[in-house]
Amino acid sequence: MTTATLLSAAILFALACVVLAMVLCTLRLLIGPSAQDRVLALDTLWMCTMLLALMLGIRHGSEIYFEAALIIALLGFVSTIALAKFLMRGEVIE
Amino acid sequence: MNFAQTLPWWAALPVAFLLVLGGLIAVIGTLGMFRLKSFYQRIHGPAITVTLGTGCILVASMLYFSVAQSRLVIHELLIAASSEPPIRVRAWTGEEWGPPDAAATLVLADAQDVALRLHGGVSVRVNGVDDERGIDDHRLPPRSPARDSCASSIAARTASRSSSVTPGRPCRRSAVRASASWRRRYLAWAPIASRR
């Protein structure tokens, strides 16, 4: 078993896990009883997307995916804060 | 696939281990968010996913690129800085105040100003009902007078009677109309607000 097979198997397993996590997030996003559950699921979905981009970067050995992951992480953080602010105050910019 | 031909085994082994661990932690945390009953239980799963799962995969990425390019690649720390701090969701959803049945929650929640949507869980638990009605359909505790001016002006408009509206924060109708449940919350407490 070479290191290439080991790494590719590990990456495939982790990719499958994260895709399953994204499916669960989407289900919670759809069935969430309250708006807070949906925000939570959306935030986790952002994080899983970021993890997916990172692992694709490892899989293809490319640094380009890192910038995409960074942008996804920042946008997810800001959008989660904005949604939480909206739920808390009823408006985003006071 | 051309990435790992040059990677030595002492680097490939921890990278593979961290990737598998990160993927497993991510799916376990999300499974917790999917299956647990109440919101306050559900919020613990994504916390694990965000901190530990992301941390594992970030460390794996740092290790892989550092060894593959023979230089120190630590710019994944930028992602960690933007996603790791526990202020992320928990500061806005109230997990950092502990479980909602803690006595300190009422003190730390600072009487209705911190997170309006937190109070559903708090008041439901405090009343001993402990059901999972969620945090949307509940009765809010009385709020601070600065925000009550808005609610009382709405009450005056709907009941078409002149009440003494204390000057406070100006009422923004568009914000109140943003969601129907929001408006319902304000109207539910309007009599108490105008009585004060």
- Looking at this predicted complex, what is its ipTM? 0.91
CA distances, A7 to each of B15, B16, B25, B72, B183 (Å): 8, 5, 18, 20, 54
B158 and B122 fall within a common domain:
no
pLDDT tens across the length of chain B (196 residues): 455 567 888 889 999 999 999 999 999 999 999 999 888 888 888 888 888 899 999 999 999 999 988 888 888 888 887 765 544 444 445 444 444 433 333 323 332 333 333 333 333 333 333 444 444 444 444 445 455 455 555 555 555 444 444 445 554 444 444 455 555 555 554 444 444 3
Please name which of A74, A80, A78, A75 lies closest in space to residue B46, comparing C-alpha atoms.
A80
Contact by Cβ (8 Å): A54, A65 = yes
Candidate from B16, B46, B175 with C-beta closest to A6? B16
pLDDT tens across the length of chain A (94 residues): 688 889 999 999 999 999 999 999 999 999 988 888 899 999 999 999 999 999 999 999 888 999 999 999 999 888 988 888 888 888 877 7
CB < 8 Å from B in window 5-64 of A? 6-11, 13-18, 20-22, 24-25, 27-28, 33-37, 39-41, 43-44, 47-48, 50-51, 54-55, 57-61, 63
Here the tokens at position B91 are: 């500061």
B83 and B22 fall within a common domain:
yes
B52 and B117 fall within a common domain:
no
Check CB contact under 8 Å for B49 and A4.
no
Number of domains in chain B: 3
In a domain, B3, yes or no: no
B119 and B168 fall within a common domain:
no
Please name which of B39, B130, B119 lies closest in space to residue A41, comparing C-alpha atoms.
B39
Give the count of alpha carbons within 13 A of A40, CB side only: 33
d(CA A51, CA A73): 9
Give the count of alpha carbons within 13 A of B154, CB side only: 24
pLDDT of res. B47: 84
In a domain, B2, yes or no: no
B85 and B151 fall within a common domain:
no
B103 and B174 fall within a common domain:
no
Candidate from A10, A87, A91 with C-beta closest to B19? A10
**Domain encompassing residue B191:** 145-195
B165 and B107 fall within a common domain:
no
In a domain, B87, yes or no: yes
